[in-house]
Structure 1
Amino acid sequence: MDDAPAGGTAARIGLYLLLVVVGALVGVAGALVQAAWFPGGLVLSLAGATGLFSVGAQLAGGRGGVGAPAAGWLVAVILLTTTRPEGDFVFGAGVGSYVFLLGGMVAAVICATIGGFAPPGGPSARLGK
């Protein structure tokens, strides 16, 4: 029933796992940068996350390419927001950290809904073509 070869499925799974790991790394890096150079660090960290989500969608050719790095990003960011027994945590209670959290989630949703995921060689959506 499935016309995809086994090597293609393994490559796709590998791509998604790589995107999850890179998403987690971008989340950790963004968490550190957004507070260090406010407001430029916040813009840089959100731009990095948005770029990763967009490139993931293009590499995977679908919305799963956005979901995989977004899941890694979200897990990393949520784990960094929890307090440790010593009372330390990475995120402060400032506006920048909330903008980073919500902005990254909004960026993932925008990249997933922006479209352009037609399979190559598929029918064109434009009329008259």
Structure 2
Amino acid sequence: MNQGYTGMAAPPNPRRIAAYFGLAVLGALTGLAGALVQAGWFPGGLVLALLGAAAVFYGGRVATGTAIGAGAAAVGWLVAVILLTATRPEGDFVFGAGTGSYVFLLGGMAAAVICATVRKVPRPEPDSARPGK
């Protein structure tokens, strides 16, 4: 029996959990792609990488209707980016110590916070010319 619970008080929903997991994977893939593109086609690649990350974060927010949707995508993105910043024993790493890398890291985090804290997701208004549709 549904008691009208919402948010964190609602019982776990397997479809919603799967959606959050999918958004985390999508966020990780976006972080990986952004890490490669932002340095390869500077400055256009940096703009493209940040727009892609923001689109995934906001898309997660709209798709689930909750801030957790944006947060799940952001967690996946952040885990991928942090793993890519770590140096390997061979001394190789994906991110260089340039301005573009720092802008990508900080800009992506700022986009995640903005998308997760958007007050309300806009809903399309009904068409006034066609009542009942």
Fold conserved (TM > 0.5)? yes
Aligned runs of 1:43-62 on 2, under 5 Å?
43-62=47-66
| Matching residue of 2:87 | 83
TM-score by length of 2: 0.82
What are structure 1's unaligned runs of at least 5 residues? 120-129
Q: What aligned pairs does 1:92-111 form with structure 2 within 5 A after superposition? A: 92-111=96-115
Query: How far, CA to CA, are the matches of 1:111 and 1:25 in structure 2?
Result: 18
Q: Do residues 27 (structure 1) and 31 (structure 2) align? A: yes
TM-score, with normalisation over the residues of structure 1? Answer: 0.85
Distance apart, 1:118 and its partner CA: 8.6
2:69 aligned residue (65, 72, 77): 65
Pairs aligned (count)? 116
The alpha-carbon deviation at position 104 of structure 1 amounts to 0.2
Q: Which runs of 5+ in 2 are unaligned?
A: 6-11, 124-133
Tell me by how many angstroms 1:112 deviates: 1.3
Distance in 2 of aligned mates of 1:22 and 1:66 = 11
- RMSD value over aligned CA atoms? 1.9
Match of 2:46 in 1: 42
